[in-house]
């Protein structure tokens, strides 16, 4: 299941133009990248929940006939969203992927790791994809056996190293059966499970990942997309720019236009948007220019 119902508040006003799952990363929407990764892993039953930006999401998903949509007239939270989609998902464990997370994680490997953990009855709760960090840092603490012993401020064991939860995880069938109709998977499901003695296993991911919920990380994800293809910039076929403009780590979407003279660097110009050069470290959507607030550098692809 891909969680795509959020409001995208941190990306406003960009998410007033498009819902966060549809913001472009490179040549296609963020959600397309996630769905392609799931499809490549052979997952043929995928559910996407939707609330904010429902109509454009439904139009996009109409081109993906093997993906079902779980509409939430009111936001139910991550746990409530999965509970509401129960009939569409069918029985069993569920792989969950936040729509705003871009990472080259192999879904099949995460599922296999969770299946291995299930040989021990104490490891049937969930498997969380975690990027390791120093002890005490990040949103997660991990013990020497690879078990999660800290979530947020809740501790249930001796932490050997910290980590950052990516928002990619397998929710076990047993724990799934206790989901509330509304609520948060972390605060209302996983933390109480830890308190009760259930085991959450960590699947360690050491490569980069991008949470495109912030403008800075969203821009970095686009730069990583360029780097992964060996491109200095990318221009859609119907995009135009004046001859006096130099593009450096810039992306011009379909129908975008750039006018003026000077450098357009580390910028993402959305389809149909117009921009005036020079400009750096910014996202340009129709009617909006949003700056990252920090100088960005090329980063490694996820």
Q: Given a cut of 50, is residue 301 above it in pLDDT?
A: no
Q: Given a cut of 80, is residue 9 above it in pLDDT?
A: yes
Lowest mean pLDDT segment, chosen from 41-55, 76-90, 213-227, 288-302: 288-302
Radius of gyration of the chain (CA): 20
251 and 269 Cβ atoms separated by less than 8 Å: yes
Report pLDDT digits (tens) over 149-203. 999 888 999 999 999 999 999 999 999 999 999 999 999 999 999 999 999 999 9
pLDDT of residue 122: 59
Q: Given a cut of 70, is residue 23 above it in pLDDT?
A: yes
What is the arithmetic mean of pLDDT over 252-264? 96
Comparing 12 with 102, which gets the higher pLDDT? 102
At 295, the pLDDT band (50, 70, 90 cuts) reads very low
pTM over 0.85: yes
What is the arithmetic mean of pLDDT over 248-261? 97
Integer CA distances (angstroms), 197 to 131, 150, 155, 265, in order: 23, 12, 12, 51
pLDDT of residue 44: 80
Report pLDDT digits (tens) over 113-147. 998 866 665 567 999 999 999 998 899 999 999 99
pLDDT of residue 10: 87
pLDDT of residue 119: 62
Q: Tell me what the pLDDT averaged over the chain comes to.
A: 92
Q: Residue 40: how many CA atoms within 13 Å on its side-chain side?
A: 11
Beta pairing class for 200-204 and 148-151: unpaired
pLDDT of residue 297: 43
What is the arithmetic mean of pLDDT over 216-238? 95
pLDDT of residue 19: 95
What secondary structure, in 3-state letters, does 99-166 show? Answer: CCEECCCCHHHHHHHHHHHCCCHHHCCEEEEEEEECCCCCCEEECCCCEEEEECCEECCCCCEEEEEE
What is the arithmetic mean of pLDDT over 274-282? 95
**Positive or negative CA dihedral for 207, 208, 212, 213?**
positive
What is the arithmetic mean of pLDDT over 1-26? 93
Domains in the chain, CATH or no CATH each: 2-210 (3.90.550.10), 214-291 (no CATH)
Q: Given a cut of 70, is residue 296 above it in pLDDT?
A: no
What is the arithmetic mean of pLDDT over 27-53? 94
């Amino acid at each position: 299941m891909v969680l795509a119902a959020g409001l995208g508040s941190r990306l406003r006003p960009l998410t007033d133009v498009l819902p966060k799952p549809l913001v472009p990363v490179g040549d296609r929407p963020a959600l397309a990248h996630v769905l392609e990764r799931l499809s490549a892993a052979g997952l043929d039953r995928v559910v996407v929940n939707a609330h904010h930006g429902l109509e454009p999401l439904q139009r996009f998903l109409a081109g993906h006939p093997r993906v079902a949509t779980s509409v939430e007239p009111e936001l139910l939270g991550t746990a409530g969203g999965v509970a509401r989609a129960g009939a569409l998902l069918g029985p069993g464990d569920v792989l969950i992927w936040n729509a705003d997370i871009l990472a080259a994680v192999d879904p099949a490997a995460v599922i296999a790791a969770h299946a291995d953990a299930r040989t021990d009855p104490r490891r049937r709760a969930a498997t969380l994809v975690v990027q390791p960090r120093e002890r005490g840092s990040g949103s997660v603490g991990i013990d020497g056996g690879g078990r999660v012993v800290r979530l947020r401020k809740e501790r249930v064991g001796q932490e050997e190293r910290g980590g950052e939860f990516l928002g990619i995880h397998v929710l076990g069938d047993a724990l799934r059966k206790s989901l509330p109709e509304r609520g948060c998977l972390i605060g209302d499901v996983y933390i109480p499970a830890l308190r009760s003695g259930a085991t959450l296993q960590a699947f360690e991911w050491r490569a980069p990942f991008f949470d495109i919920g912030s403008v800075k990380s969203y821009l970095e994800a686009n730069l990583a997309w360029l780097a992964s293809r060996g491109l200095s910039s990318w221009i859609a076929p119907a995009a135009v720019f004046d001859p006096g403009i130099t593009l450096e780590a810039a992306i011009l979407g379909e129908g975008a236009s750039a006018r003026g003279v000077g450098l357009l660097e580390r910028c993402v110009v959305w389809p149909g948007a117009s921009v005036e050069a020079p400009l750096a470290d910014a996202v340009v959507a129709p009617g909006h220019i949003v700056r990252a607030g920090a100088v960005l550098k090329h980063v490694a692809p996820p």
